[in-house]
Structure 1
C-alpha cells in the first residue's frame, strides 16, 4: 500500500474513534456514500443502544436537508402510528410526550423489554418532530405487528408487507429509512443457519424494491438484548475497520459499518 493511502486510512480510522457527534456524522456519511441513489435503506441494529438513534437522527437530517421527503420507519407496533403522528405535529411539550407514552408498548417492564423502548428512541422521535417544525418533510412510521402469536416467519412476512405498502406511498423523490433488528435486515439467511432459523428475513422479501441493507457493528461496547433473560451483552472488542461492501448474490447485507463504540440505551424503569 502506498504511503499516502496508509496515511489516509489512518486518518479515517482516527476520525471513527473521535467524539460521538463526529462519529455519527462519519458513519452516516459512509452509509450515504455507499447507498447512493437507493431510496429504501434498511439499517440493521443491535437493539437497545444509545448510539444508533443518534446515527439515525443524523441520517434523517442529511437525507431531508435539501427538502426531499423522508419516512423514518421504526420497529414499533402499527397501533402506535396515531400517537406518533400526533406527537410529530405537536409542540413537543411535556403533555405531548406523556401522551405519546400512554400505550402499553412504552410501559413494558417484563421480559419483553427488548431494548426498543428507551429515552434515546423518544429523543429520536423528538428530533424528527423538530425537523418537521422547521419545515422539513419528515414523518415517523411504526411497521411492526401489534401482537404476535405466530412464528418468526409470520412476523417477518407481516413486517415486509407493511413496509411494501408504505414504500408504495413514498413520493418519487423520497427516502425511506427503516430501523430494524439485524436479523430482519438480512437480504439472505446464512447458509449454515440452523434449520429452525431458515425463514425468509424481512429485507429478503423487499429485494425487488431495490432495498439497500446496512448492518451496524461497533468496535467495542455493549447492547441490551433478551435471550434467556433481558440483560446487557458485551461485544467482542476488535480493531477499528473501514466499511465492508458486499456484492455476492447471496450476501446477507450490502454494507457493514463499524461505529467506534456502543453502549446500553437509557431504558425506562
Structure 2
C-alpha cells in the first residue's frame, strides 16, 4: 500500500549554502511523497550509509534532520573549469514512526584559478597534452582547480528520485525477521469478549458458495492450469504479513482441488499447533471454533512476525470451507520453533518430504518466507545457509519455485532497529526491480527463461501489497497513526494512504 500524502502538507523550504532551485519539469515533479514506516532518525541514518558508500562525506549541519555532503570535485575537466556536485537530504517527521526523506542533487559551476598554482611552462605542457589527448580518457591532472576554484555562481538542485528509490529498496525490500517462541508457553488466555464483526463469516455461507454458479473458486490464477499435474510440488516465497499472498494461494489451492486433484497446502505455522488446526478444520468454523483456534500459543505470542496474520487465519478457514464442500484438501503445518538457521530449514523440509513420500500423487503447495524457498545455498548474511527449498529440490527435480512479484505497498512484520531492539508492526514493501510490477492486474504466474540468482523458476504476481494484522488483534483495518499533520487535513491525508490505487508510487 503506497503511503502517500499530498506534497502541500509536508512542504519544507530549505536554504543551505545557496539556493536549491528545482528545474525538473512540472509533469515529472512528484505530487505525493513516499512515506517510510521508520522514525526520521533511522531513515536518515540509512541515507547517510547509502551516500557514504557512493563516496560522499558530510558537513556539519545545525538541523539534525538535514544532511549535507561536501562539494565533490569532478574527476576530469577542461582548462580548470567544470561543475562540482553535492547532495542535500531533508528528513521530515510525519509521525513517531513515519517519515519522508527528500534527496536533492545540487550542482555548481566553478572557474579554475590555476594561474597561481602552476608556472607558465607547466601550464603550456599540460595544455598541449590536453589538446592531443582523448577527452574520454583525461585524468584529474587536467583539472587542478583544488582549493583555488571559485565556488561562486548559481546552484541548481533537483529531486534525485533514482537515489530515493535506492533508499526505499534499502529500507523496505529486506528480509523480515521471524520470531521463534521455542519451548515458551504463553499464559492461559483470559476469557475474551469479541465484537461480532471480529469473526470470519464464511461459515455462514459455505452451502451457498458450493451451490453457486461460480462454485467455491470465484477467481483463477492465470498460468496455473498449465502447471497442474498429479505429484506437482509448487513453492511460493512470500513477503510475510500481507493480505494478498495468502488470498492468491487460496485461489490456487481451490482451482487445483476443483479440477479433481488431491491437494495439500503446506504453511509455516508451528507443528505444535497441528491438533488445534485439525480440530478447527473439522469444525463448522463458527465464532466459538475461531476463538478456540486463536487460543494457541503461536497466535498469542507478543512478537507477531506476519505468519500469524488475519490473512493466514482466513487461508486456514478457506481450507476448512473447501473440505466442507467435499473437495480433497489437506493442511500441513511444517513450522519449527525450536531450531534456527540451516537446522531449522532442514527440519521443515523433512516434514514436507515425509508428506510427499506418503502422498506421491498429491499436488503440494508450500507457502513460506521467500528466503526459505530459495533453491540455491547461501544468503547475504550467511554464505553457508541451506534453505528448505534446496532440500526439496534435491528430492524432486520437477519442483517449481515461484518468487513473489508485487507493486509497492506495505505489510506487517518484524525488524531489528539500529539499536538492536526487535520491533513488530507496519512496514513498507518496495519490490526489487526484478520482481516489481504495476498494480491493478489479476493474479498470474510467469515462468522465466532462466532461473534467478536465488533459483526461482518464475514469479507469482499478486498486486500491490497491503498489511494483514495479527489474527488475534481486534481489527484487520490499518490502525490510525499519531501524526503531526494538522487535524483539518487528516481526512485528506488518510485518503491517499488507504487508497493506493488512486495515487501511483513516485518512483
1:236 aligns with 2:439: no
1:201 aligns with 2:399: no
Give the Cα separation in 2 of the matches to 1:101 and 1:123.
12
- The 3-state SS of whatever aligns with 1:29 is coil
User: Which of 296, 305, 323 matches 1:103?
Assistant: 296
Structure 1 residue 239: Cα displacement? 4.6
Give the Cα separation in 1 of the matches to 2:408 and 2:345.
29
1:166 aligns with 2:355: yes
Whether contact under 8 Å (1:246, 1:253) holds in the other structure is no
Change (3 A) 1:265 1:197: farther
* Matches for 1:79-118 after TM superposition, within 5 Å: 79-110=272-303, 113-118=304-309
Structure 1 residue 75: Cα displacement? 0.2
Aligned length: 237
Higher helix share: 1
Look up the match of 1:213: 401
Look up the match of 2:371: 183
Structure 1 residue 55: Cα displacement? 0.4
User: Which of 134, 146, 149 matches 2:325?
Assistant: 134
Give the Cα separation in 2 of the matches to 1:98 and 1:122.
11
- The 3-state SS of whatever aligns with 1:243 is strand
Structural RMSD (CA): 2.3
Give the Cα separation in 2 of the matches to 1:244 and 1:69.
24
- The 3-state SS of whatever aligns with 2:373 is coil
Whether contact under 8 Å (1:221, 1:263) holds in the other structure is yes
After superposition, give the CA deviation of every residue in 1:204-259 in whole Å (9 maximum; x if it has no partner). Answer: 11112232111112112112222212232223365539835153496520111332
Give the Cα separation in 2 of the matches to 1:198 and 1:32.
36
Whether contact under 8 Å (2:241, 2:413) holds in the other structure is yes
Look up the match of 1:247: 450
Give the Cα separation in 1 of the matches to 2:301 and 2:391.
30
Whether contact under 8 Å (2:283, 2:289) holds in the other structure is yes
Give the Cα separation in 2 of the matches to 1:45 and 1:250.
17
Whether contact under 8 Å (2:408, 2:464) holds in the other structure is yes
Look up the match of 1:11: none
Give the Cα separation in 2 of the matches to 1:31 and 1:223.
25
- The 3-state SS of whatever aligns with 2:382 is helix
Gaps of 5+ in 2: 1-217, 417-422, 440-444, 474-507
Whether contact under 8 Å (2:228, 2:256) holds in the other structure is no
Give the Cα separation in 1 of the matches to 2:453 and 2:370.
16
Look up the match of 2:311: 120
User: Which of 52, 56, 68 matches 2:249?
Assistant: 56
Structure 1 residue 197: Cα displacement? 4.3
Q: What's the TM-score, normalizing by structure 2? A: 0.44
After superposition, give the CA deviation of every residue in 1:66-104 in whole Å (9 maximum; x if it has no partner). Answer: 222111111011111111111111111122212212210
Whether contact under 8 Å (1:49, 1:223) holds in the other structure is yes
Whether contact under 8 Å (1:85, 1:139) holds in the other structure is no
Return the index of the structure with the highest Cα Rg: 2
Give the Cα separation in 2 of the matches to 1:151 and 1:196.
13
- The 3-state SS of whatever aligns with 1:227 is strand
User: Which of 451, 465, 475 matches 1:262?
Assistant: 465
